[in-house]
Amino acid sequence: MKVYVRNQDGAPLMPCTEAKARKLLRAGKARVVARSPFTIQLAWQCEGHVQDVTVGIDKGSSVTGISCVGNGAVLLAAEIHHRRDVKEKLDIRRTHRKSRRARTWYRPARFANRASSTRSGRLPPSIKANVEEVIRVVKQLPLPISRIVVEDVQVDIAQLNNPTLRGSRYQDPTRLDENLRIACLMRDGYTCRHCGKGNCRLEAHHIVYREHGGKDTLANLLTLCERCHDRVHDGTITLSVTGVSGHLDQIAQRSMQGKTYLYATLGASVPLTTVFGYATSAFRKRRGLAKTHTADALCVATLGSGEIVAPECPNTYQINFRPRQTRRQFHDLPRKGKGRVRYQVNEELAGFRKGDIVRVKGWWVKQVYSIYSPTATTQGRLAFARVTGEPPSALPKDCVLLERGRTVRWKPIQ
């Protein structure tokens, strides 16, 4: 396992081994600044010589893969699990706003007062949150990043229109072009056009066979499952459907929303390039790697150089996000002489706050999930996520603060 290092001025350096990190910590020449990913900071300003580190990003709507490649090895790999509750929370906020507005009937009506919703270049809040999560993680990477490579659209439209184009291709020339195959599957919704089956192995079938003069065009291709594909070539069944190419642009040009904002933000400080999804897929299949987000990110990072880097990485993390306390206020029913009474919200207890990382009774490392109020007969307690064999709560005197709560949580994957 690698230990990440920062210079005295905070600039990231190349990682070191665990043994070297222990020697630096015991000698007082470094201190721990982050526990996950484990990072130390030097007590003196060293020369700062670093090697090139390329970050590959396999952007997804639910999970995004990241792979940092340097010195012929994967220095860090991670899966970003995006928040999926942003739209729901906005819907709830809108409902409460409308309800509150209906109760204040004495105020003049207001219409079209959301100027931010109509401004040019606006991103929907859910899309913006998704993109900004990637930006926040990249900025927190404890490595000296020299280049960023992002997987852009799934297919290359220019190559569909002109198959004679040549570039960095990593497939067998006797096989169907991966760019064209993926475009066919996307057009047909990843389902068999004969039996309607999905979630299985799919093939791009030539309606007019190559030996009969059929061409490698989208109009001559049809998506079939493996069973129907074999039966068509055996002559057991006859297809009664034809190829479709009318909505090619609608499907093939589908790209990641918010990509302009992502590229502009990340490319402002580090050189950024993009690759096509079909090329990444072909490179991964050529190498025989499993279909995972981190493996795709590794292929994105090494596609341009063609470097063969082992996918194994002990420094692999799952990244989640913890939203901070919202501005929403909770109140009880009005009481005589007091009016509306706000619910008691325990934001802090004995210096501990929600989200803090603590060591419980010198053994368990836990994150404060909630705070129980002290009563006349009991003391306040810090509550944690329930795990079998571990304490669900503890007194503040039994806890030691390790790290203040952060909204970005890095969880090592064993």
Domain ranges of the chain: 2-42, 54-84+123-153+255-321, 157-251, 327-406
pLDDT recorded at residue 246? 44
- What are 74's two structure tokens? 């994967």
Percent of the chain with pLDDT over 90: 39
Q: Where are the alpha helices (DSSP H) in 207-276?
A: 226-234, 248-252, 259-266
Beta bridge pairs of residue 78: 66, 317
pLDDT band at 107 (very low <50, low <70, confident <90, very high): confident
Q: How confident is the model at residue 239 (pLDDT cuts 50, 70, 90)?
A: confident
Residue 316: per-residue pLDDT:
95
Region 25-31: what's the mean pLDDT?
95
User: Cα angle at 298 between 17 and 191, to 5 degrees?
Assistant: 145
H/E stretch holding 15 reads: strand 12-17
92 near 230, Cβ under 8 Å? no
Q: What is the pLDDT of residue 207?
A: 85
Averaged pLDDT of the chain: 84
Q: What is the pLDDT of residue 80?
A: 96
Residue 401 one-letter amino acid: L
Q: Which residue has the tokens 């009664």?
A: 240
Question: In the CATH scheme, what is the code of domain 54-84+123-153+255-321?
Answer: 3.30.420.10
Q: Are 303 and 296 in contact (CB under 8 A)?
A: no
Task: Give the global pTM.
Answer: 0.73
Residue predicted with more confidence, 215 or 230: 230
- Please state at what angle helix 86-103 crosses helix 125-140, rounded to 10 degrees: 130
The predicted structure's pLDDT at residue 298:
95
Distance CA 349, CA 222 (A): 63
- Report the alpha-carbon distance of residue 257 to residue 254 in Å, rounded: 9
Highest mean pLDDT among 186-195, 205-214, 313-322, 338-347: 313-322
Mean pLDDT to the nearest integer, 82-109: 83
Is residue 79 pLDDT above 90, yes or no? yes
Please say if the pLDDT value at position 263 is more than 80.
yes
CATH number, span 157-251: 1.10.30
Say which DSSP state 267 is in.
T
pLDDT band (50, 70, 90) for residue 253:
very low
The per-residue pLDDT for range 161-206, each reduced to its tens digit, is: 555 544 433 334 445 667 778 878 888 888 998 888 888 888 888 8
Write down the pLDDT at residue 164. Answer: 55
Give the mean model confidence (pLDDT) for residues 282-301: 92
d(CA 333, CA 317): 45
Tokens of 317: 């993390």
The dihedral built from the CA positions of residue 150, 158, 181 and 307, taken in this order, carries a sign that is: negative
Selection from 413, 359, 353, 414 nearest residue 390 by Cα: 359
Euclidean distance between CA atoms 264 and 272, whole angstroms: 9
Q: What is the DSSP string of 35-100?
A: ETTEEEEESS---------EEEEE--SSEEEEEEEETTEEEEEEEEE--S-HHHHHHHHHHHHHHH
Output DSSP code: residue 331.
B
List of residues 6+ apart from 169 with CB closer than 8 A: 279, 282
| Spatial separation of the C-alpha atoms in residues 184 and 27, rounded to whole Å | 61
Task: Calculate mean pLDDT across residues 308-334.
Answer: 83
Burial class for 55, CB neighbours closer than 10 Å (0-12, 13-18, 19+) = buried
State residue 100's pLDDT score: 79
Residues 266 and 209: beta-carbon distance below 8 Å: no
What radius of gyration do the chain's Cα atoms show?
27
